[in-house]
Structure 1
Amino acid sequence: MVVIRRATEADIAAIAAVGSRAWASNIFSFEPELPGMRAHVGQAFQDFAEASFSHVLVAEADGTVVGWGARDEDNDYISDLWVEPAVQGQGIGSSLLRAMKSAIAEAGYAKARISTHARNVGAIRLYQREGFEIVEQGPEWSTSLEREIDKVKMLAELG
């Protein structure tokens, strides 16, 4: 059984590791891997986890973090949603997304926002199944890829 809970400081390493693995398993299916990219992104996930774990919800199965989502400023924007590659497709992303939307609604927001790479069709399908609609598509700077990419921005009505 998967439990969704607030992250603690003890989860920092797992948050960074799951994020790095999920990012790499997905992005390299449609983007080239440049030298040093994995190390750069791994450090970015570690820095994020250390600074922002209090804004993270983790999905835990049998005592192991298998996914996580974040609102890095506790606003209406879901900044991150990552699931361990070996357990993707088992409903963990949906459970995290629903929990994130509930937290956003509880904070008083009427809508939730999320964005992703326009070529990340799996994530887009997941977000659409969970009530998000594409409201914008266009170029945006990617810090992790260090270049401009095509992104989609999505919105879900809450309530």
Structure 2
Amino acid sequence: MVVVRRAIEADIAAIAAVGARAWASNVFSFEPELPGMRMHVEKAFRAFAETSYGNVLVGEMDKVVLGWGAREEDNDYISDLWVDPVVQGQGIGSAILRTLMANIRDAGYLRARISTHARNVKAIRLYEREGFTVIEQGPEWSTSLEREMDKVKMLAELR
């Protein structure tokens, strides 16, 4: 059973590792890996985890962090959702996403927003199953890839 809880400082290494593995397995399936990119991304996930773990929800099974999601600011935007590639498809992402959406609703918002790479079909399907619809698609600057990429922006009405 997946347990979703607020991250604590002891989760920093797991947050960084899961994020980097999930990002690499996903993005490198449709984007070329440039020299140094993996190290750059690992450092970015570590820095994010160190400074923002208080905004992170982790999904764990048997007390092992297997995924996480975040709202970097207290608004209606879900900035991150990452699940370790070896356990994707087991409900961890759905559990985290539903909890994030409930938190957004409880904060008084009527809608939740999320975005992803337009070629990240697995993520788009997950978001659609949870009630999101694509509202925009187009180029957007990616800090992690250091170039423009095609992104989709999605919206869900909260009940």
TM-score normalized by the length of structure 1: 0.99
Aligned to 1:134: 134
Distance 2:114 2:153 in 1: 6
User: Structure 1 vs Structure 2: percent identity of aligned residues?
Assistant: 75
Q: Aligned pair count?
A: 159
Deviation (angstroms), 1:2: 1.3
Equivalent residue number for residue 120 of structure 2: 120
Deviating 4+ runs (over 2 angstroms) = none
Q: Counterpart in 1 of 2:85? A: 85
Equivalent-residue separation in structure 2 for 1:157 and 1:104 (angstroms): 11
Once the two structures are superposed, what CA deviation does each residue of 1:6-31 show, in whole Å capped at 9, x if it has no partner? 00011011000000000001111100
TM-score (norm 2): 0.99
CA RMSD of aligned residues (A): 0.5
1:109 aligns with 2:109: yes
Q: Partners of 1:33 and 1:74 in 2: how far apart?
A: 33
Which ranges in structure 1 are unaligned for 5 or more consecutive residues? none
Q: Distance in 2 between matches of 1:38 and 1:74?
A: 29
2:36 aligned residue:
36
Residues 1:50 and 2:60 aligned together = no
C-alpha deviation, 1:74, in angstroms: 2.0
CA distance in 2, matches of 1:54, 1:122: 27
CA distance in 2, matches of 1:119, 1:113: 18
Q: Distance in 1 between matches of 2:138 and 2:81?
A: 21
- Residue in structure 2 matched with residue 60 of structure 1 by the alignment: 60
**Map of 1:8 onto structure 2:** 8
Determine the C-alpha separation between the residues in 1 that align with 2:98 and 2:80: 13
Q: Structure 2: 5+ residue runs without aligned partners?
A: none
Q: What secondary structure is seen at the aligned counterpart in 1 of 2:29? A: coil
Give, in whole Å, the separation in 1 of the partners of 2:73 and 2:96. Answer: 17
